[in-house]
Amino acid sequence: MQSTETTIELRLWTVKEYHKMAEAGIFDEDERVELLEGKIIWMSAIGTAHRSAVGRTNKYLQKHLGDNNQAWISIQDPIQLDDYSQPEPDIAVVKIDQLDYADHHPTPDEVYLVIEVADTTFKKDCETKGKAYAAAGIADYWVLDVINRQLHVFREPNENGYKSEVILRESESISPLQFPDLSIDILAMLPPVIDSK
């Protein structure tokens, strides 16, 4: 029996076209979108646990890497993976740039570490974004799961994803690949536990 299904071909957008759409006002000012693998993706609303984790992680990394000029800490700003992907990770630890990235967004060879904070976005962060980051060669990718209070560490990227995934509990610690002398307690990145009594 012959299949009657037809393959739908998607029109993939380039980063250049995505920028033109933004300049033309196609997106509302308060719309949160990003470009991933040629597709415009809605970004989820930021919850309190998510915001807290991003703030705590930023403060920690700023103190240990940013303040002594080892790296630039970028919060929810674009990085350009290739001509079809410009995600806005929650945190990107990138190389210092003399112009503070006034003339371009960081590219994969300028990125030390990408961290996504996941509450409702865990599957998308691990799978969809993980595949895009791996294909671009991002060597160190972390997903901080604020619901289960653990860190998923993805390393050894290839075209199909990451070959290595390690899950660390909140009582453990980790060092970024590019900064092996920096030991980060997972608990320091997570939002505090609020006593509901």
Are the C-beta atoms of residues 92 and 111 closer than 8 Å to each other?
yes
Res 133 pLDDT > 70: yes
Q: Name which of 73, 58, 175, 181 is nearest 117 in CA terms.
A: 58
Strands 173-174, 184-185: pairing is antiparallel
**What's the confidence (pLDDT) of residue 37?**
74
pTM: predicted TM-score of the whole model, two decimal places: 0.83
Among the ranges given (23-27, 90-94, 120-124), the one the predictor scored with the smallest mean pLDDT: 23-27
- Collapsing DSSP to helix, strand or coil, 51 comes out as helix
Are the C-beta atoms of residues 114 and 138 closer than 8 Å to each other?
yes
DSSP H or E segment with residue 92: strand 91-94
Res 179 pLDDT > 70: yes
Ranges of each domain in the chain: 47-189
Q: Please state, in angstroms and rounded to a whole number, the distance separating the CA atoms of residues 17 and 40.
A: 11
Res 195 pLDDT > 70: no
Per-residue CA distances from 142 to 3, 23, 89, 104, 196 (Å): 41, 32, 11, 24, 29
Strands 161-169, 150-158: pairing is antiparallel
Res 44 pLDDT > 70: no
CATH code at 47-189: 3.90.1570.10
Mean pLDDT to the nearest integer, 18-23? 74
